[in-house]
A and B are shown apart, each in its own frame.
Chain A
Amino acid sequence: MTGPIETARVGETPAALEAIAQLVSDGGPVMFFQSGGCCDGSLPMCFREGEFIIGDYDVLLGTVGGFPFYIDHRQYEAWKHTRLMLDVAEGEPEGFSLSAGPNKHFITRSEVCAPNPAD
């Protein structure tokens, strides 16, 4: 786990690890981006590696199952006092996200944590 602002601000559950492993075995590397806003905002979106263009100001929260998990820098400011845990829940994904298995989608669970001294 490397990265410029690696803060252990994101982790993954065994169910998420298993779903990631399956996605990778089916079609190769993936990436995650934490969404916000309307409808299914607040859900993490899972894409094939390189599908979503990462900008210079996006923040790498860490890695999950060895794959990068990013968030918009403005959203990071609002979310940085919480730690995210990638998990899997019932139901199809509602955006353009890859599913986490049949009738499953990725979610982020959050818990409040101490501010990062680096911020």
Chain B
Amino acid sequence: MTDLLEKTSNEKLSEYGDNVKVFVAPGLVDSIVTLKGRYQNFIGGKWVAPVKGEYMEDVSPVNGKVFCEVARSTKEDVELALDAAHRARKAWGETSLPDRAKVLSKIADVMEANLTMLAVAESWENGKPVRETLAADLPLAIDHFRYFGGATRSLEGRTTEIDKDTVAFHFHEPLGVVGQIIPFNFPLLMAAWKIAPALAAGNCTVVKPASPTPWSILKFAELLEDIVPDGVINIVTGPGAEIGKALASSPRIAKVGFTGETTTGRLIMQYAAENLIPSTVELGGKSPNIFFADVMAADDEFLDKAVEGLVLYAFNKGEVCTCPSRALIHESIYDAFMDRCLKRIRMIVQGNPLDTTTMIGPQVSIQQLQKIESYVEIGKQEGAECLIGGQSAILEGDLAGGYYFQPTVLKGENKMRVFQEEIFGPVLAVTTFKDEAQALEIANDTLYGLGAGVWTRDGNLAYRMGRGIQAGRVWTNCYHLYPAGAAFGGYKISGIGRETHQMMLEHYSQTKNLLVSYSTKPLGFF
């Protein structure tokens, strides 16, 4: 974590003193999170029942139990949301930049005032430890709205004096109504990543949360009353095959933004092609995390940071597009460095994510848990050596039905499927390299190119590696930092477009050129 995050983390956690704090599950009497039995869609600033009256169950991965129902929407509900967004489009698109920025700022303020409540809701929904939601997910989401509020104020058109009497003016204009599909791994933060720039550029949005995690975004929406004009943000829950498709293929959207897997990414771009609209897609990765020999040149704070840098594969139980899931370690330090890392991994506390001491919670769904199990099995068949973990974790009591997997490390080689495919679980594939050239070769021997990490005390080496790795972001002597202001996006099949930076405003704007002649003289052709 950065100093900023560390500070936030310590401040947040210190509110509870040194004692263990276990938040009460949403819906129970003493919980800070209120829970209704059933949630409707958020359309036009109102809670609207699904047209066909169907609902689906939302399961908490913490205990595998249903905790509420959300709308099982159909394409009719998507149309209602698009109606509301189109009604709001003109007024929001013409809202002044100071007022647009004020709305984004107010969203940040209300999230901040409800930070702990939203963090607990997010942890219950997704299974991620509350120490992460308190210190990372929510502070980052809040800052994201503030950042794009500021970015709105910096929106500037360019003018070009073509000649003395001819001027080209360039204006940013909103696209109109956009469709945005949110993944399950950071339901609130990914929603912020998408909603903030769309609104900042003057668009209205229809958001489809991931099927396993629809509820925490609805808790966020409950806070928006009187802050966001009706119809600017609309949220429709339901199955991807029905409403994801209805939204992405609708001729009534002007752009689609998606985070998820490659096949749906292609499908999104296919639908966009059919409507001749732009799309941005972020499709995951298999990020290398490279440790050069000099990380062990001293036994100091930096070495400690590098060890944590490897163990960050378990952050958010590995359900991160940029999970550093391939560790490449110089052969001369492998034994000593890995020994330290395994000691740190053994100290990972797994359990109830609502406990502030828990470091790893359950995977988001039974589907994900089964997938991880099958990958570890493939890895063993391929000859990978399991250094730690390797199976589901069976917890006791209230957590018995949850989807827990032990932090796992597999040693093998880069051609194995566990090195090539995103497992989306707390499973690290580790291998060694002999020199810089081989490190770069292994790092780039992947279909993906979203993130990478480089750890060394040699700045020149770090620079060469950083420029050589074909990935959209190379964390250098750090990992898993996601500040607004640093562009995030993929090379190769990891996607198209960049998020978390004001350049995102370009992805959500149309360029209007006024080419103006201040001359009274005719051209003279006719």
- Complex: chain A residue closest to B372, CB-CB: A42
Interface residues in B122-145 by Cβ distance below 8 A to A read none
A97 touches B240 (CB 8 A): yes
Q: For the complex, is A105 an interface residue (Cβ under 8 Å from B)?
A: yes
Q: For the complex, is B466 an interface residue (Cβ under 8 Å from A)?
A: no
Contact A39 to B183, CB < 8 A, known contacts A45-B263, A105-B367: yes
Q: For the complex, is B32 an interface residue (Cβ under 8 Å from A)?
A: no
B396-429 Cβ-contact flags toward A at 8 Å (1 or 0): 0000000000000000000101001111100000
CA distance A79 to B56 in the complex (A): 35
A94 touches B447 (CB 8 A): no
B183 to chain A, nearest CB (A): 5
Contact A39 to B261, CB < 8 A, known contacts A74-B493, A78-B417, A92-B211: yes
B370 touches A89 (CB 8 A): yes
What are the residues of chain A within 8 A of B493 when measuring CB–CB?
36-37, 72, 74
A94 touches B211 (CB 8 A): yes
What are the residues of chain B within 8 A of A97 when measuring CB–CB?
240-241
Interface residues in B155-210 by Cβ distance below 8 A to A read 183-185, 210
A33 touches B263 (CB 8 A): yes
Q: For the complex, is A13 an interface residue (Cβ under 8 Å from B)?
A: no
Of B18-26, B375-383, B503-511, the segment with at least 4 beta carbons within 8 Å of chain A is B375-383
Q: For the complex, is A93 an interface residue (Cβ under 8 Å from B)?
A: yes
A8 to chain B, nearest CB (A): 18
Select which of A72, A90, A107 is within 8 A of B262 by beta carbon.
Answer: A72
A91 touches B367 (CB 8 A): yes
B321 touches A96 (CB 8 A): no
CA distance A77 to B368 in the complex (A): 24
B264 touches A35 (CB 8 A): yes
Q: Interface size class for chain A?
A: 35 or more
- Complex: chain B residue closest to A55, CB-CB: B266
Contact A38 to B183, CB < 8 A, known contacts A52-B270, A93-B240: yes
Select which of A52, A89, A109 is within 8 A of B263 by beta carbon.
Answer: A52
Q: For the complex, is B371 an interface residue (Cβ under 8 Å from A)?
A: yes
What are the residues of chain B within 8 A of A34 when measuring CB–CB?
263
CA distance A38 to B182 in the complex (A): 12
Select which of B210, B285, B381 is within 8 A of A94 by beta carbon.
Answer: B210
CA distance A34 to B447 in the complex (A): 15
A19 to chain B, nearest CB (A): 14
Q: For the complex, is B38 an interface residue (Cβ under 8 Å from A)?
A: no
What are the residues of chain A within 8 A of B341 when measuring CB–CB?
none
What are the residues of chain B within 8 A of A116 when measuring CB–CB?
none
What are the residues of chain B within 8 A of A35 when measuring CB–CB?
261-264
CA distance A11 to B161 in the complex (A): 65
A41 touches B284 (CB 8 A): yes
- Complex: chain A residue closest to B369, CB-CB: A91
Contact A38 to B321, CB < 8 A, known contacts A110-B374, A111-B381: yes
- Complex: chain A residue closest to B319, CB-CB: A39
A68-104 Cβ-contact flags toward B at 8 Å (1 or 0): 0000101100110110000001111111111100000
- Complex: chain B residue closest to A95, CB-CB: B264
B263 touches A38 (CB 8 A): no
Select which of B56, B263, B284, B374 is within 8 A of A95 by beta carbon.
Answer: B263
A38 touches B421 (CB 8 A): no
B242-268 Cβ-contact flags toward A at 8 Å (1 or 0): 001100000000000001111111110
Select which of B282, B285, B374 is within 8 A of A107 by beta carbon.
Answer: B374
Select which of B183, B241, B367, B415 is within 8 A of A89 by beta carbon.
Answer: B367
B261 touches A112 (CB 8 A): no
A56 to chain B, nearest CB (A): 14
Contact A82 to B264, CB < 8 A, known contacts A38-B282, A39-B183, A96-B245: no
Q: For the complex, is B448 an interface residue (Cβ under 8 Å from A)?
A: yes
Q: For the complex, is A114 an interface residue (Cβ under 8 Å from B)?
A: no
CA distance A78 to B448 in the complex (A): 12
Q: For the complex, is A53 an interface residue (Cβ under 8 Å from B)?
A: yes
Q: For the complex, is A40 an interface residue (Cβ under 8 Å from B)?
A: yes
Task: Report which B residues bind A (CB closer than 8 A).
Answer: 56, 183-185, 210-212, 239-241, 244-245, 259-267, 270, 282-285, 319, 321, 365-368, 370-371, 374-375, 378, 381-382, 415, 417, 420-424, 447-448, 493-494
Task: Report which A residues bind B (CB closer than 8 A).
Answer: 33-43, 45, 47, 51-53, 72, 74-75, 78-79, 81-82, 89-99, 105, 107, 109-112
Between-chain CB contacts (< 8 Å), 14 pairs = A35-B264, A36-B261, A37-B448, A38-B261, A40-B261, A41-B262, A41-B283, A41-B424, A78-B447, A94-B184, A95-B261, A95-B263, A96-B267, A107-B374
